[in-house]
Structure 1
Amino acid sequence: MTTKVRASHILVKTEAEAKDILSKINAGDDFGTLAKKFSTCPSGKKGGDLGWFSKGMMVKEFEEASFKTKKGDITGPVKTQFGYHIIKVTDTK
């Protein structure tokens, strides 16, 4: 059976912006609220939720980071062709 990950993310244009948002999360700010406020991805409206995905469905850098991150953990910034992502893995199966 293939492993699947459910993740949320916040996508921004610059690494500095991503690091600033990550520091807000580490200080206790809510991931979903920050996604709605700052993410340039349409998923931001849903608190950054991307739903379930398996390998081969996301860009390489994003996928590698997502599958390496434990459920409940947050990683980033991860650079892709779209910008910089803060990724929160919400579940795995």
Structure 2
Amino acid sequence: MPVAMARHILVKTEAEAAALKQRIAAGEAFDVLAKKHSTCPSKKRGGDLGEVRPGQMTKAIDQIIFKKPMKVVHGPVKTQFGYHLVQVFYRD
């Protein structure tokens, strides 16, 4: 079964997610912004979700983790929890 490692930032609004994505593109560290702004408990680990297998995350996040290019910040992606920025840094 495939496995991946990803991190994310979860915020309440699309505008907030878009602003954070711009800050990351400008060179700010994903993990630092996750610790400061994310509403997910993973923020303590800089947004690190650890090892993820297909079906563990919401369908929208699962699609990014297992189908989209790695080492790119994807999003904002809306789920029932809010808006996510997702970065995959390992997939096997």
Which TM class, normalised by the smaller chain length?
over 0.9
Alignment of 1:1-93 (within 5 A): 2-93=1-92
- Size of the alignment, in residue pairs? 92
Alpha-carbon distance between aligned partners in 2 of 1:64 and 1:82, rounded to the nearest angstrom: 16
Percent identical residues: 50
Q: CA RMSD in A?
A: 0.8
Does the Cα contact within 8 Å between 1:36 and 1:48 map onto a contact in 2? yes
Alpha-carbon distance between aligned partners in 2 of 1:3 and 1:84, rounded to the nearest angstrom: 25
Q: TM-score, normalised by structure 2?
A: 0.95
Cα offset, 1:4, TM superposition: 1.3
Alpha-carbon distance between aligned partners in 1 of 2:16 and 2:29, rounded to the nearest angstrom: 16
Q: TM-score, normalised by structure 1?
A: 0.94
